[in-house]
Structure 1
């Protein structure tokens, strides 16, 4: 399997009004439809999508490092709301209008936060980390996920300290890729994908583990917004062979019921690397929902 994942075509940093920096990367035509990729755990701006797919669909793919990852300034105690405000300021400063978002894995709540704040006009969640702290999901959580949710609820600072000391680029890659479905294994074994994924994780931990720890605690905590109130269209994409305990125990069924604007797709014989095995399908569906009527 050749993913055709390449290094960024454009790299930069944007200085926000408060002096913090946001590191970003882009692929595809600058005049294309802007798609913000909120990537997975500790993954910096260096990992994108297959360049042939985004080129065919006229997509301007944008990745932005979350606080404390890659080239983005650290920010103590930042929240999902803060992230949405940062992306809104980033879009205004770079004159990016009509942006939509993809949230992959742990990136899902960050994409939803942008939707709740009306910073983006449409969202696609792929292999998404559900609101695992929602009481309705508690009986279905696997022991590992239940333990992490409990730690996050007991105290963010303590949970962040534990997480910060427990992971680095190599251990996180092995945790993600090691137990994956066979289709996923072919993605992770692809030289182009592997090279860029390793670079993104190494860059993600360049400032230490605090940024990874903070985003993980946010993803494992209750959302500061009601998913049912998100005003933009949302696609939910899950694979029937997704075994990651930090995604969704019911593969998005209950999440779809709580989101009136959502439609759910379950892909057979696929794993959690769905965003790279079905890139064009995911993008085409998202773009079709925000096209002018």
Structure 2
């Protein structure tokens, strides 16, 4: 069934937080396996690619994919900051009775994984960041992005109204898939050829803005603001991964983050672009839970 005609599935669970907001999540894989919280990118939500449940099962992990506030089925949270996300994750861990857990932040979810790593929850064992965007609160940092991405984040940084307009444009489905593929590096083009239908699923962003564009808009705006914590203060191990052909998140941006985290590893995927983090998700989570 074409993505644009599919029903948006209900989340696996919903939790009402202390402030009355609803936090939604999906679960995949082995319910008895190590619990890994996957933190989605921007734009994104808990619904991503239909191959992920299989990869979670093969890796033997319990993969928990939570919607950030205002994205997917989670309620919007006015004024939220990146540093507030660990509280939501901790509440979800309480609700699921997790004695230990791991986090994986992909692309725009990277800062949120690092915020969790900085948050001090003793149950959090280790973190991983795949193709994770770095701080964009300076012109020098934004200059490393492609012209298109730099324009998006510059507009989002200018205020809520512009960020909402950008969010609407990103989820309108205006760009053709052929045009998108043409701008991809060879590594990503190869992945799209190998996995027919993958790109159609990834660009179906209806679920992201199911309750309006404000959550995505705030996600975009937050990416341009100071994160609110020191990477040098992270005490748990963090594994960083980047493709050397990635045009969305330059490999140097990821390497710089890794260099500032005391107990970090940094792996470069040769010939890989931004989509590598999806097809390599199984191996990343398997290493993540085995490394402690």
Question: C-alpha separation between the residues in 2 aligned to 1:149 and 1:169?
Answer: 17
Q: Deviations over 1:62-104 (max 9, x none)?
A: 0011111111011111111221111111110121231111111
Q: What residue number does 2:28 align with? A: 27
Q: Which residue of 2 aligns with 1:122?
A: 126
How high is the TM-score relative to the length of structure 1? 0.83
Matched, 1:215 2:219: yes
- Residue 61 of structure 2 corresponds to which residue in structure 1? 59
| 1:157 counterpart = 2:132 | no
Q: Structure 2: 5+ residue runs without aligned partners?
A: 1-7
SS at match of 1:42: coil
Partners of 1:59 and 1:176 lie apart in 2 by 32
Aligned to 1:252, what secondary structure does the other structure show? helix
Matches within 5 A, 1:51-130: 51-119=53-121, 120-130=124-134
Q: Which moved more, 1:247-256 or 1:129-138?
A: 129-138
> How many Å separate the matches in 2 of 1:249 and 1:30?
34
Which residue of 155, 170, 173 maps to 2:173? 170
Alpha-carbon offset, residue 193 of structure 1: 3.2
Residue matched to 1:3? none
Q: Is the 8 A contact 2:105 2:113 kept in 1?
A: yes
Supply the distance in 1 between the matched residues of 2:192 and 2:172 (Cα, whole angstroms): 14
Q: Measure the CA separation in 2 of the matches of 1:131 and 1:66.
A: 19
- Residue of structure 2 aligned with 1:204, choices 205, 208, 224: 208
Secondary structure, in 3 states, of the residue corresponding to 1:260?
A: coil
- Which structure 2 residues correspond to residues 243-258 of structure 1 after superposition, within 5 A? 243-244=247-248, 247-248=249-250, 250-258=252-260
Contact 2:127 2:239 (8 Å CA) reproduced: yes
| Structure 1, 106-115 or 186-195: larger mean CA deviation | 186-195
What SS is found at the alignment partner of 2:227?
coil
Aligned equivalents of 1:114 and 1:136: distance in 2? Answer: 26
Matched, 1:241 2:245: yes
Offset, 1:13: 1.0
Q: How far off is 1:36 after superposition?
A: 0.7
Shift of 1:156: 4.2
Q: What is the distance in 1 between the residues matched to 2:9 and 2:207?
A: 14
TM-aligned CA distance change 1:263 to 1:159, over 3 Å:
farther
Give the Cα separation in 2 of the matches to 1:140 and 1:183.
20
Q: 2:284 aligns with which of 271, 282, 285?
A: 282
The separation in 1 between residues aligned to 2:263 and 2:151, in whole angstroms, is 31
Q: State which drifts further: 281-290 or 183-192.
A: 183-192
Deviation at residue 115 of structure 1 after TM alignment: 1.1
SS of corresponding position for 1:285: helix
8 Å CA contact retained: 1:42, 1:205: no
Q: Which runs of 4+ in 1 moved over 6 A?
A: 7-10
